[in-house]
Structure 1
Amino acid sequence: MLSFHDEAADGRRGVLKWVTRRQGWLFFPLLLLEGLNLHVDSMMTLTARTSVKRRWVDLALIATHWALYLTFLFLLLPPGKVAAFVGVHLAVLGVYMGGAFAPNHTGMPIVARGASSTTCAARC
């Protein structure tokens, strides 16, 4: 969704172009979806036909986590409140992760395309 280089932003059309032009204002609202995005992306990586070490262990742990988490919630709350709780939980996770990562990466030097690691070490 976000674009960090002019070349990446130039090829965008439609909704992605609109988001790219307003990404500074949309950063925090987009963080609300980042928790869900992290879970979806991890499942897509684990179910893709790429070589992931101990894929079945990861999948089993994720399935166990969600089974216990949802079982516990459904025992304590009605279904509507479970959906609301999970939604707020994932939204808070996204904002919290963005609040931890974004300030620590703001202001980092941008390495020019084609620069060697020695050039970056001397300049950075």
Structure 2
Amino acid sequence: MTDTLLSGELTDSELQELAERAGRELEDASATEILKWATDTFGPRFCVTSSMEDAVVAHLASRVMPGVDVVFLDTGYHFPETIGTRDAVDAVMDVNVITITPRKTVAEQDAEHGEKLHDRDPDLC
């Protein structure tokens, strides 16, 4: 596929078909080959997400698509080591780390809903 796909160009059923076809075609592919397919298919709209428990996906993605966006969801509950990994990935790799934070801080959420909301109602938090 030489043209890249942009958001909104495919219907839900077309996206489902694309995913099923890719699953068949890439069944025996390496991680790097799968990332290459994704960058060829989605172009500059392609990004990866990372929990920053490690940096494997970010590293591989940076080799296939230098400057790739790496999205990290900072829940406010991460260990300092996880934030350190995020910062190291941002400093050392050819990626663009995008940190997404919730609308409310942990303190605001606790004040409104009580502590440990994630244990009681994961959908609400």
Fold match, TM over 0.5? Answer: no
Q: Hey, which of these two has a bigger chunk of helix by percent?
A: 1
Shorter chain as normaliser: what TM range? under 0.3
Bigger radius of gyration: 1
Q: Relative contact order (C-alpha < 8 Å, sep 6+): which is higher?
A: 1
Could you say which structure has the higher strand fraction?
2
